[in-house]
Amino acid sequence: MKGIGVSPGISIGRAFVIKKTEPALTGILLKNEAEILLEIERFDLAVSHAADEIESIKANTVLQDEELSLLETQIELLTDPQIKADVIEKIESDKKNANDALIEVIGNFVQLFENMDDEYMRARSADIKDIGSRILNHLDGQGQGKVNTYKFAPDTIVIAEDISPSDTLTMDIKHVTGFATQAGSKTSHTTIIAKSKGIPAVVSCGNALATVVNNDVVILDAINGIVYINPSQEIIDDYTIKRAAYRERTDKLKALKDVLAITRDGKRITLSANISGADDMEDVFYNGGDGVGLLRTELLFMDRDSFPTEDEQFEFYKSIALRSKNKPVIVRTIDIGGDKHLPYFNLPAELNPFLGYRAIRICLDRKDLFITQLKAILRASVFGDLKIMFPMISNVQEIKSAKSIVAEAKAELLNDNIVFNADIKIGIMIEIPSAAITADILAQEVDFFSIGTNDLCQYTLAVDRMNEKISHLYDPFNPGVLRLINNVIEQGHKHNIHVGMCGEMASDPIATLLLLGMGLNDFSMNAASIPTIKNIIVNNSITKARNIYKNVMEMNSSEKIIAYLQEAAQ
Ligand code: PEP
Ligand code: MG
| Segment (H or E) for 230 | none
Tell me: pLDDT of 143 over 50.
Answer: no
Q: Catalytic: which of 205, 363, 457, 502?
A: 502
When mean pLDDT is compared across 294-303, 316-325, 364-373, 448-457, the lowest value belongs to 294-303
- pTM, two decimals, is 0.70
Q: Is the dihedral of CA 174, 179, 184, 187 positive or negative?
A: positive
CA distance 187 to 204: 12
Across 523-539, average pLDDT: 93
CA 431 to ligand 1: nearest atom? 2
Q: What percent of the chain has pLDDT over 90?
A: 64
CA of 499 to the centre of ligand 2 (A): 16
Indicate the pLDDT class of residue 177, thresholds 50, 70 and 90.
very high
Q: How far is the CA of 274 from the centre of ligand 1 (A)?
A: 10
> What are the structural domains, with CATH classification, of the chain?
1-231 (3.50.30.10), 270-424 (3.20.20.60), 427-520+531-570 (3.20.20.60)
Q: Per-residue pLDDT for 147 more than 70?
A: no
Answer whether 200 contacts ligand 1 (Cβ < 6 A).
no
**How many A from CA of 39 to the centre of ligand 1?**
60
**Residue nearest atom 1 of ligand 1, based on CA coordinates:** 452
Nearest CA to ligand 1 atom 8: 454
454 lines ligand 1 (CB under 6 A): yes
Tell me the average pLDDT across 407-430: 98
Higher-pLDDT residue of 68 and 500 is 500
Residues shown for the chain: 570
Residue 531 has pLDDT above 90, yes or no: yes
Interhelix angle 453-461/479-494, rounded to 10 degrees, is 130
pLDDT digits 0-9 by tens, 220-246: 999 999 999 999 999 999 999 999 999
- 502 C-beta closer than 6 A to ligand 1: yes
| Closest atom of ligand 1 to CA, residue 503 | 3
pLDDT exceeds 80 at position 293? yes
Pocket test for ligand 1, best of 335, 392, 432 (most atoms within 8 A of CB): 335
In which region does residue 342 sit, left (phi positive, over 0), alpha (psi from -120 to 50) or beta (all else)? beta
Mean pLDDT of 277-294: 91
State which ligand 1 atom lies nearest to the alpha carbon of 296. 9
Choose from 127-131, 194-198, 226-230 the range with maximum mean pLDDT: 226-230
3-state SS, residue 27? coil
Q: Is the pLDDT of residue 145 over 50?
A: no
Strand order in the sheet with 201-203: 4-7, 201-203, 176-181, 156-160, 10-18, 217-221, 226-229
Residue 453 beta carbon below 6 angstroms from any ligand 1 atom: yes
Residue 57 near residue 78, CB atoms below 8 Å? no
* pLDDT grade for 149, boundaries at 50, 70 and 90: low
Count Cβ atoms below 10 Å from residue 36 Cβ, excluding itself. 18
Query: For 299-356, what is each residue's pLDDT tens digit?
Result: 899 878 899 999 999 999 999 999 999 999 999 999 998 877 888 998 888 989 899 9
Q: Is the CB of 455 under 6 A from ligand 1?
A: yes
- CA of 169 from ligand 1 middle (Å) equals 40
CA 338 to ligand 1: nearest atom: 10
Pocket lining: 452 vs ligand 1, CB cutoff 6 Å? yes
Whether 21 shows a pLDDT value over 90: the answer reads: no
Nearest-CA residue for ligand 1 atom 4 is 452
Determine the average pLDDT of the residues in 25-35.
Answer: 89
Stretch 266-285: mean pLDDT, rounded? Answer: 92
**Average pLDDT rounded to a whole number, residues 196-210:** 88
Of 167-181, 368-382, 404-418, 437-451, the poorest mean pLDDT is in 167-181
Determine whether the shortest distance from the Cβ of 130 to ligand 1 is under 6 A: no
What's the gap in Å between 380 CA and the centre of ligand 1? 24
Nearest CA to ligand 1 atom 6: 452
Q: Give residue 62 CA to ligand 1 midpoint distance, Å.
A: 42
- Which of 30-44, 59-73, 76-90, 478-492 ranks highest by mean pLDDT? 478-492
The answer to whether 341 is a known catalytic residue is no
**Residue in 138, 189, 205, 457 annotated catalytic:** 189
502 included as an active-site residue: yes
For residue 289, report the distance from its CA to the centre of ligand 2, in Å: 22
| Window from 10-19, 143-152, 434-443 with minimum mean pLDDT | 143-152
Q: Is the CB of 296 under 6 A from ligand 1?
A: yes
Q: Does residue 462 register a pLDDT over 70?
A: yes
Ligand nearest to the CA of 452: 1
Distance CA 186, CA 119 (A): 8
Ligand nearest the Cα of residue 330 is: 1
Q: What is the CA(253)–ligand 2 centre distance, in A? A: 29
Ligand 1 atom closest to 450 (CA): 5
pLDDT at 545: 98
Band of pLDDT at residue 141, cut at 50, 70 and 90? low
Closest ligand 1 atom, residue 335 Cα: 9
Amino acid at 470: I
Nearest ligand to residue 450 Cα: 1
Query: DSSP string covering 242-303, please?
Result: HHHHHHHHHHHHHTTTTS--B-TTS-B-EEEEEESSGGGHHHHHHTT--SEEEEETHHHHSS
Cα–Cα distance, 311 to 44 (Å, whole number): 38
Quote the mean pLDDT of the chain.
91
| Atom from ligand 1 closest to the CA of residue 391 | 6
The predicted-structure confidence for 87-109, as pLDDT tens digits, reads as follows: 999 999 999 999 999 999 999 99
More confidently predicted of 276 and 165:
276
Backbone φ, ψ for residue 12 (5° rounding): -130, 125
